[in-house]
Amino acid sequence: MNTHEHNSKGIGNLQRKIEALDGVERMKNFPPEEILQMLDIKKNDNILDLGEGTGYLSIPSAQMVDGLVYALDMDPKILEVIDTKSKDKNITNIKLIEGRLDNIPLTDDSIDIALASLVLHEVNPLSKTLNEIKRVLKDGGQFLCFEIEKKESHIAGKPMPPRISSLDMEKELIDAGFKITQKVFPDDLHYIFIVKK
């Protein structure tokens, strides 16, 4: 494969990822502002968006606070997308961080609110990432976890994408020392946990 073909394939994959993350259905079914209203967000809060994708929660949360919103992702190309979007909207309080969820490059007790939307099913072991989230959260800090319920695949021969059941997630959160304050099941496929440190 020549360099041009490789780059074209990479751009195609990135474009598909962006389209999935920015999908109209996702915005219609789960408006980010409604999800964020479930939290007690204060003007001076610092927020961490883990695996922030294209800014689904980062951008609206940055518009709600004067504090910093740290957008953490492993993919520098995705971070470039959110950088462009935030500049287009004249948002200046988003700080981009290239890094891993299981080794968050922030100091202890520095974050008021952590957000993880459709990303925790990709980390293994989950316990290490949850401990990192707890480490960077201030005492009393809130953490919102939005995930897809684990269901049996009904399509023969098609592998099931990685998922975490709400029961397993609840156990993992409790084992990590979080206190669950709210459980929401917006439909039969998704769940949201709001927990406190």
CATH of the domain at 41: 3.40.50.150
Residue 172 inside a domain? The answer is yes
Residue 127 has pLDDT above 70, yes or no: yes
Please, what is the average pLDDT of the chain?
A: 83
Residue 20 inside a domain? The answer is no
Residue 19 inside a domain? The answer is no
Residue 196 has pLDDT above 90, yes or no: yes
Report the number of distinct structural domains present in the chain.
1
Four-residue CA torsion sign, 140, 136, 174, 53 = positive
- Cα separation, 12 vs 21, in Å, equals 14
Residue 74 inside a domain? The answer is yes
* Region of poorest pLDDT, from 23-37, 111-125, 140-154: 23-37
- Cα separation, 168 vs 56, in Å, equals 25
* Region of poorest pLDDT, from 11-15, 33-37, 87-91, 134-138: 11-15
Compute the 3-state secondary structure of the chain and give helix, strand, coil in percent, each to the nearest 5: 35, 25, 40
Q: In 24-102, at which residue ranges do the beta strands (DSSP E only) sit?
A: 47-50, 69-73, 94-98
Which residue reads 């990432």 in tokens? 129
> What type of residue is 135?
R
Residue 180 inside a domain? The answer is yes
- In Å, what is the CA distance from 18 to each residue of 76, 80, 99? 13, 12, 19
Instruction: Report CA Rg, the chain.
Output: 17
- For 174, the enclosing helix (H) or strand (E) is helix 166-175
pLDDT digits (tens, 9 = 90+) for 110-120: 999 999 998 89
Q: Which domain holds residue 184?
A: 30-196
- Cα separation, 53 vs 64, in Å, equals 19
Residue 68 inside a domain? The answer is yes
Task: Give the pair of three-digit tokens for residue 72.
Answer: 């953490």
pLDDT digits (tens, 9 = 90+) for 160-187: 666 889 999 999 999 999 999 999 998 8
Residue 131 inside a domain? The answer is yes
Neighbours of 30 (CB within 10 A): 17
Residue 18 inside a domain? The answer is no
